[in-house]
């Protein structure tokens, strides 16, 4: 196979793209050809930013929803059967 996934020479785990130059499984230093390039680092960083932003938006939406919920209290039914 031509497109073999990069593997850690120490533990033979598939090397995941990350900002680290170390294997995230065994912690050993990876060979230079498996280090992330600057372009890869940028891509990873921007992906992180995007997911952070999405997370923030989701949290904000939830907070707004909660606020709305608190504001719109269900009308309390007056007791009609007062004797
Ligand atoms: Zn490893």
Residues 42 and 22 in one domain: no
Q: Which domain holds residue 26?
A: 7-35
- Cα–Cα distance for residue pair 48/67, rounded to 1 Å: 28
Is 20's pLDDT higher than 80? yes
Among 8-12, 16-20, 28-32, 35-39, name the one with the lowest average pLDDT: 16-20
Q: Please indicate, yes or no, if residue 1 is contained in any of the structural domains.
A: no
Residues 51 and 28 in one domain: no
Residues 45 and 31 in one domain: no
pLDDT for the residue numbered 1:
56
CA of 18 to the centre of ligand 1 (A): 13
Q: Looking at the 3D structure of the chain, how many domains does it have?
A: 2
Q: What is the pTM of this model?
A: 0.54
Q: Please indicate, yes or no, if residue 75 is contained in any of the structural domains.
A: no
CA of 3 to the centre of ligand 1 (A): 19
What is the number of alpha carbons within 13 Å of residue 34 lying toward its C-beta?
23
Place of tokens 């060979």: 31
pLDDT in tens, 28-59: 999 998 898 999 999 989 999 999 999 999 99
């Amino acid at each position: 196979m031509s497109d073999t996934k990069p593997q850690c020479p120490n533990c033979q785990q598939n090397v995941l793209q990350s900002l680290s130059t170390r294997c995230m499984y065994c912690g050993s230093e990876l060979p230079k050809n498996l280090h992330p390039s600057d372009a890869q680092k940028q891509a990873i960083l921007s992906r992180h930013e995007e997911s952070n932003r999405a997370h923030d938006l989701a949290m904000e939406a939830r907070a707004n929803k909660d606020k709305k919920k608190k504001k719109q209290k269900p009308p309390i039914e007056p007791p009609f059967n007062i004797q």
